[in-house]
Structure 1
Amino acid sequence: MSAATSTRSATVAAEKAAVSAAALQGPAQTPATQRLRLISSKQLESHKTASSLWVTYKGNVYDVTEFAPDHPGGDDLILEYAGKDMEEIMDDIDSHSHSDSAYEILKENLVGRLPITQEEHAALAEAENGGADFTGKDDELVITADFQPSDTDLTSDFEKHAFLDLNKPLLVQVWNGTWGKEFYLQQVHSPRHLKESARLFKSPFLEMFTRTPWWVVPLVWAPISAALFQRATSQFAANALKRATATAAAKAAASSAASSAPSSSAFASFRQLLAGSGSAALAAAKQAQINQTQPEILASVAPAALASTLACFATGVVIWTILEYTMHRFLFHVDEMLPDRPFFLMLHFLLHGIHHYLPMDRLRLVMPPLLFAVLEFPFTRLAYALFPVAIANGIISGAFAMYVVYDVMHYSLHHHRLPQYLREMKAYHLAHHYKNYEEGFGVTSKIWDWVFGTEL
């Protein structure tokens, strides 16, 4: 074979490898076009053994743990590049040529990419090297009721962490973010503190619906709770009055029948003659007797109706404490099961993420009425499906009243000096924000944290 032919063959092989590599690499990996998991050099370093083998090629990171034993050249060759870049060996056709299928196998095992921009490198930095000031997971941190975080420098925060620019509307930044779920959760659980509320929307109209002063909660929901309590009491009283009236009517009928019984058969025909007018008189007398007893009946059933409503109200209070814990733990902190997609990250941020990101924001500490209306709807429908309407109204009244206590107390835990028990709960709740966000889900009490083993 001539030198020219050899050169052409080598050129064709190199071009073929380049085409395969280009197909593998895909479009330019910039924050605007690529939403892959960012992987730091430290993370890459922890995957360089036969049991967990990662390699890099053209800026992408691949998990070749399962493929390595089947590598035609033996797994020893791949292990030499464990945790390292293998672009040189992959593209070196003289050392070891690779078919299109080799590049396809790599493509199937893509797990992320290395940081490209300065911002991405900053985003993956350790806390002490420019990462978040609070990690939300620090067992050594001491939190007291007097704890006050320092203000966040808006400009340097974005330069250091490359997460959200607090000078700009936040929601569109979450939607357009190029970081994955792991980085998002790390940052959103690293609290920032601003003097004024951050903006979610550029539009003042939309922004208005995201800000809720604490007094809106009792203003909206306390009257609803009171109305349900009154309705439950009236319904219990009406049901008791109906039963008591029926009993009184039966007694009146029995009494009238006994008093009008014939003393001898001689009067039978005469009684029949008077039956038409006698029946009307008897009915009128019976109704008069019932009417005379109704005020007495009502006076006797009112305390019982109130007692029944109070029992249902207390049940609703207890049920709310369970809902408070379960929704906080399994809905608001659905971190591990959260899909790594922009829509779900944005939904998480709106629902609870913003509260952990900006825990001292006075206008985003209590639930907007619309959000609570959406959350309570399935539970109230369930109550009406399971219980008679009077019982359901009493239970819902208690649950709503306790919700008002919960949200007003939640606001106070963040912003007020409080009596001793509440000071203890304030330190407990702030520890949930700044010390360990995976524990301490109770706000009004620790009881369910104690029951389920999540007490701080």
Structure 2
Amino acid sequence: MAKVYTSSQVASHTTADSCWIIYNRKVYDVTEFIMDHPGGDDLILDYAGKDVTAVMKDVLEHEHSESAYEILDDYCIGTFDDTITATTTTTTTTTTSSTVLSSATEDKKQALHRQRMQLLEQEEESKTYGMANFAPKETDAATDMKTSQFLDLRKALIPQFFTTSFTKEFYLEQVHKPRYLPTPAIFFGHPLLEPLSKTVWYVVPLLWLPFAAYQFSKSLALSGGANVLSGFSFGLGLLIWTLLEYLLHRFLFHVDDHLPDHQIAFLLHFTLHGFHHYLPMDKLRLVMPPTLGIALAYPLINLGHFLFPPVMAYAVIAGGVVGYVMYDCTHYYLHHAKVFKYHFKEMKKYHMAHHYKNYEDGYGITSKLWDAVFGTVLNYGTPLTSSK
């Protein structure tokens, strides 16, 4: 396991006798390299004890070759985690102590949020995602691996979690930085498991709409002619799904800050939703695979029968399933189509902003309803230019 360093530890090494820098959440002791640096020792010392990620990626500031990154790897001494702090405070009362701690925690959370979003802002797509003809630039897998030291896009992704070690913050930053491949990524790399990870979008309506029709017909059969109750329950099911869509996206798929700092936790997060932020334009992994859909649907269907009488339960389930189909198909549509200008044009920009501007807000896919209710509406900030 690589040693973890804090910002204060790195910041204490700023001289020619001991010079450390941070690059892509890793710490490097470049003391021995200072005199050999082609740009001179002053350039390195100017950034001693600091994060040089943005500087090294800025070709106008100081362009680096692939060999430069290879040389840098030789000086890596550990990983960087600025969420670790050692603070000693003396307080006069419990109330004062709690207030100070709460304020410090909130400030730290805001700083972490700004740091994460600044990484997204370095990408070209953070400025072009609102365009009608938005098309992300293809990622050079070899260069990405050298510069990010995260996952190798040329290999099966899941097995790499068993042979690598990341800090939690490094994982979250990298998995939310979008990459783009012209073909579907290799997920498992196993001839039997790999096909199970791929789902074409039209499988969702073909599988679930007949099930929804069957559930609604059961409700009608039990209603004894009270079709209004079945219709009302169907509409209630649709509404319940919109809330579930929001809650699942926010509290299950984006469990980020509460994610345990463990490789297995990262693996589960990546499999469930992290992959979608890592490779958001992978067409065959944009809708929910049937196996995962059934696993999530089973307890929800049982809950529906527990909460409602049968005549209502069947219709509520039917409405919920139709809502889910609309959600998954809308999700695919927003990513891969030139959408209809009414409602969908705005929702496309809104969802693209969730990927390229701020993934800690904007959880609604089909609408902004519950984002407005729970205060997580995503604000775009600077205006975006659009193509007609």
TM-score normalised by L of structure 1: 0.59
* Paired AA for residue 209 in structure 1: L
The answer to whether 1:377 aligns with 2:298 is yes
User: How far apart are the structure 2 equivalents of 1:384 and 1:326?
Assistant: 20
Q: What RMSD, in angstroms, separates the aligned Cα atoms of the two structures?
A: 2.8
The alpha carbon displacement at 1:141 in A equals 3.4
Q: 1:332 aligns with which of 249, 253, 269?
A: 253
2:119 is paired with a residue whose SS is coil
**Superposed displacement of residue 174, structure 1:** 2.3
Q: SS where residue 406 of structure 1 aligns?
A: helix
Instruction: Report SS of the residue matched to 1:336.
Output: helix
Instruction: Using the TM superposition, give the Cα deviation of residue 336 of structure 1 relative to its aligned residue in structure 2, in angstroms.
Output: 0.4
C-alpha deviation, 1:137, in angstroms: 5.8
Q: CA deviation at 1:376?
A: 2.0
Shift of the 150–315 alpha-carbon distance from structure 1 to 2, 3 Å rule, reads same
For residues 264-284 of structure 1, the C-alpha deviation after alignment (integer angstroms, 9 at most, x for no partner) is xxxxxxxxxxxxxxxxxxxxx
Q: State the partner residue of 1:135.
A: 119
Deviation at 1:319, TM superposition (A): 0.4
Q: Over residues 375-407 of structure 1, what are the superposed CA-to-partner deviations in whole Å (9 max), with x where a residue is unaligned?
A: 122222111111111211110100000100100
Aligned counterparts of 1:149 and 1:221: Cα–Cα separation in 2: 32
Instruction: Classify 1:215/1:134 alpha carbon distance in 2 versus 1 (closer, same or farther; 3 Å).
Output: farther
Residue 130 of structure 1, CA deviation: 3.5
- The structure having more radius of gyration, on CA atoms, is 1
Matched, 1:390 2:290: no
- Aligned counterpart for 2:353 among listed residues 426, 431, 441: 431
Letter in 1 for 2:268: L
For 1:172, the aligned partner's letter is P
> Structure 2: how far apart are the matches of 1:36 and 1:396?
50
Match of 1:149 among 127, 131, 136: 136
Q: Tell me the equivalent position of 1:414.
A: 335
Structure-1 separation of matches of 2:230 and 2:57 = 57
CA distance in 1, matches of 2:154, 2:209: 36
Task: Identify the residue that residue 193 of structure 2 maps to in structure 1.
Answer: 206
Contact 1:441 1:454 in 2 (8 A): yes
> Following the alignment from structure 1 to structure 2, what is the Cα–Cα distance between the partners of residues 370 and 398?
21
Q: Distance in 2 between matches of 1:197 and 1:410?
A: 18
User: Out of 274, 278, 282, which is 1:353 matched to?
Assistant: 274
Cα distance, 1:147 vs structure 2:
1.9
Paired residue type of 1:349: F
Structure 1 residue 134: Cα displacement: 8.6
Does structure 1 conserve the Cα–Cα contact (< 8 Å) formed by 2:117 and 2:358? no
Distance in 1, matches of 2:233 and 2:365, equals 23
Cα 1:331–1:116 change in 2 (3 A) is farther
CA gap of 1:36–1:221, structure 2 versus 1, over 3 A, is farther
CA contact 1:135–1:187 (8 Å) conserved in 2? no
SS in 2 for 1:166: coil
- Deviation (angstroms), 1:138: 7.2
Over 3 Å counting, the alpha-carbon distance change for 1:403 and 1:137 in structure 2 is: farther
Three-state SS of the structure 2 residue aligned to 1:163 is: coil
Q: In 2 relative to 1, CA 211–185 (structure 1 residues): closer, same or farther, beyond 3 Å?
A: same
Report if the CA contact (8 A) 2:166-2:263 is conserved.
no
1:441 counterpart (340, 357, 363): 363
- 1:196-275 maps to which residues of 2 (within 5 A)? 196-237=183-224
Q: Deviations over 1:279-299 (max 9, x none)?
A: xxxxxxxxxxxxxxxxxxxxx
Gap change, CA 1:387 and 1:135, over 3 Å in 2: same
Change beyond 3 A, Cα 1:216–1:36: farther
CA distance in 2, matches of 1:155, 1:138: 19
Please name the residue that 2:96 is paired with: none
Check whether the contact 1:135–1:189 (CA below 8 A) recurs between aligned residues.
no
Q: Where in structure 2 are the equivalents of 1:24-173 lying within 5 Å?
A: 34-37=1-4, 39=5, 44=7, 47=8, 55=9, 83-84=12-13, 114-115=27-28, 126-130=53-57, 135-136=119-120, 141=127, 143-144=129-130, 145-173=132-160
How far residue 142 of structure 1 moved from its aligned partner, in angstroms, is 5.2
Partners of 2:231 and 2:147 lie apart in 1 by: 55
Task: Confirm or deny: 8 A CA contact 2:117 2:357 kept in the other structure.
Answer: no
Any unmatched runs of 5+ in structure 1?
Answer: 1-33, 48-54, 57-81, 89-111, 119-123, 238-300
**Matched residue SS, 1:149:** coil
Q: Percent identity?
A: 43
In structure 1, distance between residues paired with 2:26 and 2:278: 26
Name the structure 1 match of 2:234: 313
Q: Give me the whole-angstrom Cα distance separating, in 2, the residues matched to 1:341 and 1:318.
A: 36
Q: Given residue 359 of structure 1, which amino acid in structure 2 is its aligned partner?
A: P
Deviates more, 1:212-221 or 1:381-390: 381-390
Tell me, what secondary structure is at the counterpart of 2:187?
coil
Deviates more, 1:409-418 or 1:130-139: 130-139
Residues 143 and 431, structure 1, Cα contact 8 Å, conserved in 2: yes
SS at match of 2:330: helix
Q: Which amino acid aligns with 1:218?
A: P
SS state at 2:256 partner: coil
Contact 1:442–1:449 (Cα < 8 Å) also in 2: yes
- The amino acid across from 1:334 in the alignment is V
Unaligned runs of 5+ in 2: 18-24, 34-50, 59-115, 379-388
Deviation at 1:236, TM superposition (A): 1.2
With structure 2 as the length reference, what TM-score do the two structures score? Answer: 0.69
Q: 1:125 to 1:379 in 2, by over 3 A?
A: farther
Contact 1:189 1:357 in 2 (8 A): yes
1:355 Cα deviation (Å)?
A: 0.1
Q: 1:343 to 1:116 in 2, by over 3 A?
A: farther
CA contact (8 A) 1:134 1:191 kept: no
Query: Which structure dedicates a bigger proportion of its chain to helix?
Result: 1
Q: Is the Cα contact below 8 Å between 1:309 and 1:394 reproduced in 2?
A: yes
